[in-house]
Chain A
Amino acid sequence: DQQVKQNSPSLSVQEGRISILNCDYTNSMFDYFLWYKKYPAEGPTFLISISSIKDKNEDGRFTVFLNKSAKHLSLHIVPSQPGDSAVYFCAASGKAAGNKLTFGGGTRVLVKP
Chain B
Amino acid sequence: GAVVSQHPSWVICKSGTSVKIECRSLDFQATTMFWYRQFPKQSLMLMATSNEGSKATYEQGVEKDKFLINHASLTLSTLTVTSAHPEDSSFYICSASPLQNIQYFGAGTRLSVL
Interfacial residues, chain A to chain B (CB-CB below 8 A): 32, 34, 36, 41-46, 49, 89, 93, 95, 98-106
How extensive is the interface on chain B, given as a class? 20 to 34
**Docked-complex contact B4 and A43, CB < 8 angstroms:** yes
* Of B44, B107, B110, the contact of A89 (CB 8 Å cutoff): B44
CB within 8 Å for A46 and B97 given contacts A41-B91, A99-B32, A106-B43? no
Interfacial residues, chain B to chain A (CB-CB below 8 A): 2, 4, 6, 32, 34, 42-44, 46, 49, 91, 93-95, 97, 100-108, 110
Chain A's nearest CB lies how many Å from the CB of B108?
Answer: 5
**Docked-complex contact B102 and A43, CB < 8 angstroms:** no
If A46-B105, A99-B101, A100-B34 are given as contacts, then 5 extra A-B residue pairs at C-beta distance below 8 Å, sorted by A number, are A43-B93, A44-B93, A46-B104, A49-B102, A101-B95
Instruction: With CB as the reference atom, state the residue of chain B lying closest to A94.
Output: B101
* Of A46, A99, A104, the contact of B43 (CB 8 Å cutoff): A104
Cα-based distance from A84 to B18 in the complex (angstroms): 37
A residues within 8 A CB of B2?
A: 46
CB within 8 Å for A46 and B102 given contacts A99-B97, A100-B34? yes
Instruction: With CB as the reference atom, state the residue of chain B lying closest to A33.
Output: B101
A residues within 8 A CB of B95?
A: 43, 101
Kindly name the residue among B49, B105, B106 whose own CB sees the greatest number of chain A CB atoms within 10 A.
B105
CB within 8 Å for A49 and B108 given contacts A99-B32, A106-B43? no
A residues within 8 A CB of B6?
A: 43
B residues within 8 A CB of A36?
A: 105
CB within 8 Å for A100 and B102 given contacts A41-B91, A43-B108, A105-B43? no
Chain A's nearest CB lies how many Å from the CB of B70?
Answer: 19
Kindly name the residue among B91, B95, B103 whose own CB sees the greatest number of chain A CB atoms within 10 A.
B103
**Docked-complex contact A44 and B44, CB < 8 angstroms:** yes
